[in-house]
Amino acid sequence: MADGAVRETSKGFKVPSGELLRYADGRVRQSHDMRFHWCHAQKVTAGRHREFPSRNPDITICLYVPPKSF
């Protein structure tokens, strides 16, 4: 994943979809290779016509984050 794609805020981690994962979120896990890894899937729901589904933003499955250095 590109450097800077995940931003750390005072409340948690902001992923490329714009979703904020709080520090206590169970989907946030420790990365063992010192890099961010965002596991996500595209959520697809039926639109007005079944043949043309409307796409919603990516949903986060997990986020691996490197340990903080002080």
pLDDT at 70: 46
CA torsion angle for 22, 24, 28, 29 (degrees, to 10)? 150
User: Domain coordinates of the chain in residue numbers?
Assistant: 7-65
CA distance 63 to 56: 19
pTM: 0.75
pLDDT tens track for 13-53: 999 999 999 999 999 999 999 999 999 998 766 655 555 55
Q: What tens digit of pLDDT does each residue of 51-65 get?
A: 555 555 788 999 999
Residue 55 has a pLDDT of 52
Q: Residue 10 pLDDT more than 90?
A: yes
